[in-house]
């Protein structure tokens, strides 16, 4: 009985999430702000590369500052 309750609850939540997502996509298309998956991937990879560069720069600065004190 418990499994049936969780199964029904999961199905209801899944259907709700699917419909909300579909509505969001439809509204976004109307507004013209939907990015393609490729554009989103490029944007994400650029953000990661930028963050990596910034972290490496800060690590190098901290390392250089630490070696000057010796």
Residue range 37-63: mean pLDDT, rounded: 86
Residue bearing the bigger pLDDT, 15 or 33: 15
Cα–Cα distance measured from residue 44 to residue 38, given in angstroms and rounded to the nearest whole number: 10
Q: Which residue has the tokens 């190098």?
A: 60
Cα–Cα distance measured from residue 68 to residue 31, given in angstroms and rounded to the nearest whole number: 55
Query: Does position 50 have pLDDT exceeding 80, yes or no?
Result: yes
Residue range 50-69: mean pLDDT, rounded: 83
Cα–Cα distance measured from residue 3 to residue 46, given in angstroms and rounded to the nearest whole number: 44
> Domain coordinates of the chain in residue numbers?
1-34, 35-70
């Amino acid at each position: 009985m418990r499994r049936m309750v969780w199964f029904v609850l999961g199905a209801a939540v899944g259907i709700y999430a699917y419909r909300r997502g579909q509505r969001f996509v439809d509204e976004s298309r109307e507004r013209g702000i939907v990015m393609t998956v490729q554009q989103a991937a490029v944007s994400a990879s650029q953000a990661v590369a930028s963050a990596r560069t910034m972290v490496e720069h800060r690590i190098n600065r901290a390392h250089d500052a630490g070696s000057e004190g010796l």
